[in-house]
Amino acid sequence: MTEGAGLIVFVAIIGGALRVSTPFMFVALGECLTEKSGRVNLGLEGTLVLGAMTAYAISFHSGSPWLGVFAAGCAGAALGAMHGYICKLPKVNDIAVGIAMMLFGTGLAFFFGKAYIQPSAPRLGSFSLGEWTGSQQIATALQINPLLLVGIVVAIVMAWAFANTKWGLIVRMTGDSAPSAKAMGVSVDLVRFLATTIGGFLAGVGGSFLSLFYPGSWNQGLSSGQGLMAVALVIFARWSPIRCVIAALLFGAAGAIGPALQSVGITQGYYFFNAAPYILTLFIMIASAGSKQAMRDVPGELSITK
């Protein structure tokens, strides 16, 4: 491999990280909020797919992709609210409900989405971080979407809010010790309901990115498990919104390895490199299972740790 090709691969991976990471980021931030409140929502994969479908459909009908993004958020919030409501019923397990919600969300998306596979909807715009280099190749590779910046801002606001606002402290308290929260007159179910709903909204927005920016069309194989990987990513990020962003970028970069190598003509092991994010997920799960730090940071009320 020449030096030039190495640079191209490097830029392509960075570009891929910037481009592919956004859905990971939104789903992870949504899950981070939900898990901080003491509940696991495994249904975000379904939320992501439904968000993608909704965004595409609304963008197609209204002509406004940003309206599509908002509608995707609302669809996600509705699924989140459903999860939150069902989980507060007695003797309901949030993991099982999450799996049901995942199937429900994807099923719903496929059902309503059939009609939108063919037509083409207006897509979200983008700008490039690479214009200044003067290189067309780099400029194209570093195309980014405003949603990425929104995601980073959301992460910073969330991190700040967890430490500096009453609501942030209440969410952490609910997630760490439900009896303490109850003793202070906080309604644990309400906090979790809201956290799951907002988490669903974020995941829905993440879905809109898939259909409206990259890959930029609606079809049934769009998500291929990104929502589930994002849940794993929250564990890796040890429930910190900022680390969620970094982890999402890392996953994005891993996902970009295959296409980046292909762009310089290396096709050997293409499918293997495309599987990089999945392999990464596996290793992260193994590594974090034994991590003592993760054990300390985990919210005490999570059913996966009980």
Question: Among candidates 270, 253, 250, 277, which has minimal Cα distance to 16?
Answer: 253
Q: Which is nearer to another protein, 176 or 189 (CB)?
A: 176
User: 92: exposed, middle or buried (C-beta count within 10 Å: 0-12, 13-18, 19+)?
Assistant: exposed
Q: Which is nearer to another protein, 167 or 283 (CB)?
A: 167
| Cβ atoms 246, 32 nearer than 8 A | no
Give the shortest CB-142-to-another protein separation in angstroms.
36
> Amino acid identity, residue 43?
G
For the four alpha carbons of 127, 129, 134 and 139, in that order, the dihedral sign comes to negative
Give the shortest CB-33-to-another protein separation in angstroms.
15
Backbone angles phi and psi of 128, in degrees to 5:
-110, 140
Name the one residue in this structure whose structure tokens are 């249904």: 43
Residue 15 CA to chain centroid, in angstroms? 18
According to CB under 8 A, which one of 3, 166, 265, 268 is a site residue for another protein? 166
Give the shortest CB-157-to-another protein separation in angstroms.
12
According to CB under 8 A, which one of 3, 91, 111, 185 is a site residue for another protein? 185
Q: Helix crossing, 146-164 with 241-263: angle to 10°? A: 160
What are the CA-CA distances from residue 198 to residues 42, 69, 80, 154, 248 (Å)?
Answer: 15, 15, 7, 12, 19
Per-residue tokens: 101: 């919600």
Give the shortest CB-189-to-another protein separation in angstroms.
16
Q: Does 189 bind another protein (CB under 8 A)?
A: no
Q: Which is nearer to another protein, 91 or 296 (CB)?
A: 296
- Please tell me the distance from the alpha carbon of residue 262 to that of residue 133, in angstroms, as a whole number: 23
Piece in contact with another protein (CB under 8 A), picked from 37-45, 86-94, 158-166, 225-233: 158-166
| Cβ atoms 67, 56 nearer than 8 A | no
Binding mask 267-306 for another protein (x = CB under 8 A): -------------------------x--xxx-xx------
Piece in contact with another protein (CB under 8 A), picked from 97-105, 135-143, 173-181, 195-203: 173-181
Per-residue tokens: 229: 């990987």
Piece in contact with another protein (CB under 8 A), picked from 4-12, 70-78, 162-170, 279-287: 162-170
Q: Which residues of 289-304 are buried (b: 16+ CB within 10 A; e: fewer)?
A: eebeebeeebbebbee
Q: Which is nearer to another protein, 96 or 295 (CB)?
A: 295
| Cβ atoms 192, 80 nearer than 8 A | no
Piece in contact with another protein (CB under 8 A), picked from 73-81, 88-96, 183-191, 227-235: 183-191
According to CB under 8 A, which one of 126, 176, 187, 262 is a site residue for another protein? 176
According to CB under 8 A, which one of 137, 143, 177, 224 is a site residue for another protein? 177
Q: Which is nearer to another protein, 107 or 300 (CB)?
A: 300
Residues 16-45 that bind another protein (CB under 8 A): none
According to CB under 8 A, which one of 173, 229, 233, 234 is a site residue for another protein? 173
118 beta partners: none
Give the shortest CB-164-to-another protein separation in angstroms.
5
Instruction: Report the interface residues with another protein, using CB under 8 A.
Output: 164-167, 169-170, 172-173, 176-177, 179-181, 183-185, 292, 295-297, 299-300
